[in-house]
Amino acid sequence: MIHSSNAHMETIVLKAVIGEIEAVRSKRQQQYRELESHPELKRFTQQELNDVAFTSYKNILSGRSRRIPSRTAIMDIADYLECTSAERNDLLLAAGYIPEHYELAGTALKLALEQAKLILRGLPLPAFIATHKFDITDMNPMFQGLYGVSYDTLHLGRFNMIHNHFSPDLPIRKRSTFNEESFRKWESHAIYGIQTFKLNNMYFRHDAWYRDLLQDFNRYEEFRTYWDYEAESPVDPISEPKMLLVRKGEDSEWFPIRVRQIHISVSSYMFPRIEAFLPEDLPARHMFEWLGCPVESMLDRYQVII
């Protein structure tokens, strides 16, 4: 009796899984039929799914196999079907697996952002808050003074770390590439940032917001150049200082400094987080002091040796 009950339950689950897979597969077929073709010439047929993603699929459809696909198999099927994060979780749930929680959302995200704001207000460093979409949601006056970005930028439309790095209309691009060495560092940070964005959001890449962001970012020629570029050893901003031209007021001279970027987490998730900056050389220390940062006590706290 127990065996019969388990077999009945497996049949119900398998039917639900097939239903979800077929619904998404048919949806993709229709989407690309309207677009006339797929960039990779995918046809999203049952046979193609069987050949490319899950070699037991036709056996399940015909009833020759009654085994529920493993979690890994479901993830492979979701990749083949170009599932959004919601569609991927629907497949996992249908198969009886715990859905993926890629990033904080809803109330949990709101609370994490509020926590980040509280930390930002008391942080004696130039810093800003970033989400997993690389959106900058807040910044402190020291960051504005260091990088020359107005707080009003946050209210003029979407402000993103990619915009901040690549836009010719913002000061950071020009002030970070004033000689050959600074350009190489800026380029390394650009490549690392793009690879980080792609890796952290790999399961969102078929979501509408992800496609919209890419369309927005692609207006920058350098972004398009670096999108598929993978350095032999991408440089983490924590291990490689940035170079930046700064000045103490509008009437003073520009001078170069080196700063180191650090990440401050506010939850068990990677994002949202605070991106903060430490002085890496003596001119940077002088600039930080001018901005009002308590350099000596700050360096003791973060154990940075300059």
pLDDT band at 3 (very low <50, low <70, confident <90, very high): low
Instruction: Read off the pTM.
Output: 0.84
pLDDT tens, position by position, 253-284: 999 999 999 999 999 999 999 999 999 999 99
In this prediction, residues 63-76 reach a mean pLDDT of 94
In this prediction, residues 51-65 reach a mean pLDDT of 94
No. of helices (H) and no. of strands (E), the chain: 14, 5
pLDDT in the model for residue 292: 93
From CA 66, how far away is CA 47, in angstroms rounded? 18
Residue 298 pLDDT > 80: no
Residue, of 249 and 291, whose pLDDT is higher = 291
Q: Is 208 exposed, middle or buried (0-12, 13-18, 19+ CB in 10 A)?
A: exposed
Residue, of 98 and 11, whose pLDDT is higher = 98
- Domain residue limits, the chain: 2-94, 106-302
pLDDT tens, position by position, 44-54: 999 999 999 99
Query: Within 10 A of 62 (CB to CB), how many other CB atoms are there?
Result: 8
Per the prediction, the chain carries an average pLDDT of 90
pLDDT in the model for residue 176: 96
Q: Which whole-number Å values give the CA distances from 147 to 69, 126, 150, 175, 224, in the listed order?
A: 51, 9, 9, 8, 24
Report yes or no: 261 and 237 within 8 Å, Cβ to Cβ.
yes
At the top level of CATH, which class does the domain 106-302 belong to?
Answer: alpha beta
pLDDT in the model for residue 208: 95
Residues in CB range of 80: below 8 A, 6 or more apart: 49, 52, 53, 54
pLDDT in the model for residue 151: 84
pLDDT band at 150 (very low <50, low <70, confident <90, very high): confident
pLDDT tens, position by position, 181-207: 999 999 999 999 999 999 999 999 999
pLDDT band at 144 (very low <50, low <70, confident <90, very high): very high
Residues in CB range of 264: below 8 A, 6 or more apart: 119, 123, 127, 273, 274, 275, 276
Task: Please give the torsion angle defined by the CA atoms of residues 36, 40, 41 and 45, in that order, rounded to the nearest 10 degrees.
Answer: -110
Residue 302 pLDDT > 60: no
